[in-house]
Amino acid sequence: MDQKRVVRLNQLKNNSMKYAKQTQNALDKLDQSLAQLRVLIKRGQNQEAIRFMEEGELKERFGELQNMITISQVGNIGARGTQGSRPF
Instruction: Judge whether residue 23 has pLDDT over 70.
Output: yes
In a domain, 11, yes or no: no
Instruction: Judge whether residue 75 has pLDDT over 60.
Output: no
Pairwise CA distance, residues 65 & 40, whole Å: 23
- Residue 52 is part of which domain span? 21-68
The H-assigned helical ranges of 1-88 are 3-42, 46-54, 57-74
Sign of the CA dihedral running 70, 75, 80, 85? positive
Pairwise CA distance, residues 56 & 76, whole Å: 31
Pairwise CA distance, residues 88 & 80, whole Å: 10
Mean pLDDT within 82-87: 51
Number of domains in the chain: 1
In a domain, 56, yes or no: yes
Mean pLDDT within 24-47: 95
Percentage with pLDDT > 70 across the chain: 82
Average predicted confidence (pLDDT) for the chain: 82
Give residue 88's pLDDT. 41
In a domain, 88, yes or no: no
Task: Concatenate the DSSP letters of all residues of 45-59 into one string.
Answer: -HHHHHHHHHTSHHH
Give residue 11's pLDDT. 81
pTM of the model: 0.67
